[in-house]
Amino acid sequence: MFPYMGGKATHAKWISPYIPHCSTYVEVFGGAMWVYWRSDKTPVQTNVYNDLNRHLVNVFACAAVDYQHYQEVLQSYIFDLGSDEMFIEYRDEIFNVYGDEFIIPDYPLAAKYMLCQLQTFAGNQGFTAKSKIYKSPDPKHKFVAYTEKFGQPDYVKKLLQLTTENMDCLDIINKYDQPDTFFYLDPPYKNLEHYYTEDDFGHYDHLDLLDKLRNTKAKWALSYYWFEELEAMLPRDRYVWHEQNTYSINARHSTWKRTELLIMNYETPNLSGFFGDS
Ligand SMILES: C[S@@+](CC[C@H](N)C(=O)[O-])C[C@H]1O[C@@H](n2cnc3c(N)ncnc32)[C@H](O)[C@@H]1O
């Protein structure tokens, strides 16, 4: 729904056909929740956004509880766009309550968070306590584009059916683990965890998550880049592995190939050849 470090905006199209029939859809590592917004398989009966970052949860809670009021509050901050002083003031206010159980929904706090988040340089680490303002040369500012989303019927329809949670990944899995649940999991990629403010998702957290996934009643699909332990913990002969090659152009204009994995614990439709590499 907004540009986010590691967001699945460009991958949602090939991931979406793998979403199975379910009555509860949960994004365990919500971020900006691109797969939910871009998929034609959602919304289902119950739709859950979860993230450990309480500020992100607050943003989605404000939008889901009263999107019209949230849009008005966002618009009242447009005059602060491009101001170094206001960026620093809001950034410090946000990190002052970071990790606290502030009350959700808090509309001004959500607007300030998005104002800062969308004025942080996308090529750097995500929004942190030390981020500096980035003044984008784009004619339409990302923050303005974000405020306009709440006038789009497709977004609003999905928003109105969204429940928000602020839990650790293992706790949210425990809470919703039922046969008619589908978990989409997009954890911080291994060795890139420092891109997120929640940067303590370390080696053993990845292993605990894999272990948890081996014992669920629910269906799940897990996005990752390859690392060795995946082969032993989610072996290819017991789980469905899909590999998607993606190409990007780096700052030196050379093409760069990466293989995105989607590992699933259920029978999937045969989509090979349907979606080419992206
Ligand atoms: C790769 S991003 C998800 C991107 C998302 N799929 C999207 O399309 O924008 C990973 C997210 O996991 C969150 N996170 C980190 N540790 C977590 C934990 N232990 N439990 C739940 N969420 C966590 C981070 O705050 C971050 O937003």
Nearest CA to ligand 1 atom 7: 7
Beta bridge mates, 208: none
CB 5 near ligand 1, within 6 Å: no
CB 31 near ligand 1, within 6 Å: yes
Nearest CA to ligand 1 atom 23: 52
**Same-domain check for residues 120 and 174:** no
**Same-domain check for residues 76 and 148:** yes
pTM of the model: 0.93
C-alpha of residue 1 to centroid of ligand 1, in Å: 14
Among 259, 219, 255, CA closest to 239: 219
What's the CATH number where 210 sits? 3.40.50.150
- pLDDT confidence of residue 51: 97
C-alpha of residue 92 to centroid of ligand 1, in Å: 22
What's the CATH number where 82 sits? 1.10.1020
- pLDDT confidence of residue 271: 67
What region, left, alpha or beta, does residue 194 occupy, with left being phi > 0 and alpha being psi -120 to 50 degrees? Answer: alpha
Question: In Å, what is the CA distance from 133 to each residue of 24, 145, 201, 241, 246?
Answer: 39, 18, 26, 40, 30
Q: What domain range includes position 62?
A: 54-159
- pLDDT confidence of residue 138: 85
**247: exposed, middle or buried (Cβ count in 10 Å: 0-12, 13-18, 19+):** exposed
**Same-domain check for residues 117 and 204:** no
**Same-domain check for residues 36 and 74:** no
Last residue of a domain, one of 136, 159, 182: 159
Q: Which mean pLDDT values do the consecutive 10-residue runs of the chain (278 residues) have?
A: 88 96 98 97 98 97 97 97 97 94 97 96 79 88 95 96 98 98 93 61 94 98 96 97 82 73 91 53
- pLDDT confidence of residue 257: 80
Phi, psi for 225 (deg, rounded to 5): -100, 155
**Same-domain check for residues 107 and 139:** yes
**Same-domain check for residues 183 and 47:** yes
DSSP H or E segment with residue 142: helix 142-148
Last residue of a domain, one of 159, 194, 227: 159
- pLDDT confidence of residue 61: 98
- pLDDT confidence of residue 6: 85
Question: In Å, what is the CA distance from 48 to each residue of 155, 157, 173?
Answer: 15, 14, 11
CB 52 near ligand 1, within 6 Å: yes
Nearest CA to ligand 1 atom 26: 31
- pLDDT confidence of residue 193: 57
C-alpha of residue 182 to centroid of ligand 1, in Å: 17
Total domains, the chain: 2
Mean pLDDT for the chain overall: 91
**Same-domain check for residues 122 and 185:** no
Last residue of a domain, one of 159, 177, 211: 159
**Same-domain check for residues 7 and 83:** no
* Among 38, 51, 189, 261, residue to substitute to test ligand 1 (most atoms within 8 Å of Cβ): 51
